């Protein structure tokens, strides 16, 4: 199996669990721990679809947590709905178990905490995930930004909430962009393209954000660089260029090691998960 290690991320394996870590975040390994979990045989973390999927997913999380030496009871996993809603986790709700898709976590696509040992989770199967760390205030965040979340600027909401709730300074925040679908494969119809065109016309960068594709079934197709959009939004919020760390990995280009909803089909796709916590 291929290895995704590059200048920004390192691929490792522990007790049979394959994962990526960002070189930049590893510089703060005395304060935080983080993992981006890759495809692992026999583990299915998808909760949507059949009711029994939740039971199967919980067992998958338990196996990952046990293998990596983390406490499964410290997990906080929202119900992602492609919103731009961000929640500050001040404490765990369930004292003797994980906060696993609690009602209070419904329609939440961004998490932030300053508490130790609360493990923030975000899943994807093409969507963008961004892990955030304020190295001065010791605050972490985990954001799921699908195309709708990107259109609605959830990353700006996340950074704004970090500032409002914890007094974070943008210049101290590291934003790490996990593997996701990239401009080479994010193909959309004209209706979606028009929404992005209207929303981000002000950037004067539409030629870099939107690319014209082929005509398929009598429909003009377009490609959108949602990663670039998120980088633009981060810079608008004052994040330093050197603190925007991109894994530069496309999920659709690496379906043997990464889950992709577009490759695996909507009915059968699995999910990858990013995990980050303060020690």
pLDDT 10s digits, 145-162: 999 999 999 999 999 999
Strand partners, 99: 76
pLDDT tens column, 96-125: 999 999 999 999 999 999 999 999 999 999
Quick one: average pLDDT of 168-183? Answer: 98
Measured between alpha carbons, how far is 210 from 223 in angstroms, rounded to an integer? 6
Task: Flag whether the pTM goes above 0.95.
Answer: yes
pLDDT above 90 coverage of the chain, percent? 96
Residue 245 has pLDDT above 80, yes or no: yes
Residue 272 pairs in a beta bridge with: 124
What pLDDT digit, counting tens, does each position of 258-270 carry? 999 999 976 789 9
- 277 and 119 in contact (C-beta within 8 Å)? yes
Among residues of the chain, what percentage have pLDDT more than 70? 99
Question: Is 80 exceeded by the pLDDT of residue 211?
Answer: yes
Distance CA 133, CA 243 (A): 10
Residue 203 contacts by C-beta under 8 Å, 6 or more apart in sequence?
Answer: 209, 232
pLDDT at 49: 79
Residues 130, 174: Cα–Cα separation, whole Å? 10
Q: In the predicted model, is pLDDT for residue 1 greater than 80? A: no
pLDDT of residue 45: 96
Residue 66 has pLDDT above 90, yes or no: yes
| pLDDT(256) > 80 | yes
Report, as an integer, the average pLDDT of 71-85: 96
- C-alpha–C-alpha distance, residues 133 and 189, integer Å: 35
pLDDT of 265: 77
Contact 112, 133 (CB under 8 A): no
Please report the pLDDT score of residue 266 as a whole number: 67
H helices of 152-241, where? 154-166, 190-199, 206-209, 226-236
* DSSP bridge partners of 276: 34, 120
Computed over every residue of the chain, the mean pLDDT equals 97
Domains of the chain: 9-168+176-182+250-278 (3.60.140.10)
DSSP 59-77: HHHHHHHHHHT--GGGEEE
């Amino acid at each position: 199996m291929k290895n995704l290690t590059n200048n920004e991320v390192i691929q490792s394996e522990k007790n049979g669990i394959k994962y990526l870590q960002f070189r930049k975040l590893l510089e703060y390994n005395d304060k935080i721990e983080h993992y981006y979990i890759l495809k692992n045989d026999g583990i299915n973390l998808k909760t949507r679809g059949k009711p029994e999927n939740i039971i199967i997913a919980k067992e998958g999380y338990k196996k990952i947590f046990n293998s990596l030496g983390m406490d499964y009871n410290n997990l906080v996993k929202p119900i992602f709905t492609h919103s731009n809603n961000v929640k500050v986790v001040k404490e765990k709700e369930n004292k003797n178990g994980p906060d696993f898709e609690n009602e209070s976590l419904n329609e939440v696509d961004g998490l932030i905490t300053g508490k130790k040992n609360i493990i923030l989770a975000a899943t994807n199967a093409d969507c963008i995930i961004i892990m955030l760390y304020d190295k001065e205030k010791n605050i972490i965040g985990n954001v799921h930004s699908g195309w709708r979340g990107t259109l609605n600027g959830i990353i700006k909401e996340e950074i704004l909430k970090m500032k409002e709730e914890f007094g974070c300074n943008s210049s101290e925040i590291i934003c790490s962009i996990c593997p996701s679908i990239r401009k080479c494969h994010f193909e959309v119809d004209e209706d979606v393209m028009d929404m992005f065109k209207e929303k981000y016309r002000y950037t004067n960068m539409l030629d870099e954000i939107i690319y014209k594709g082929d005509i398929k079934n009598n429909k003009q197709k377009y490609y959108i660089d949602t990663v670039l959009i998120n980088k633009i939004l981060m810079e608008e919020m004052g994040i330093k260029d050197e603190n925007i760390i991109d894994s530069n990995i496309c999920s659709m280009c690496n379906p043997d090691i990464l889950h992709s909803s577009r490759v695996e089909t909507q009915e059968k796709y699995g999910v990858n998960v990013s995990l980050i916590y303060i020690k």
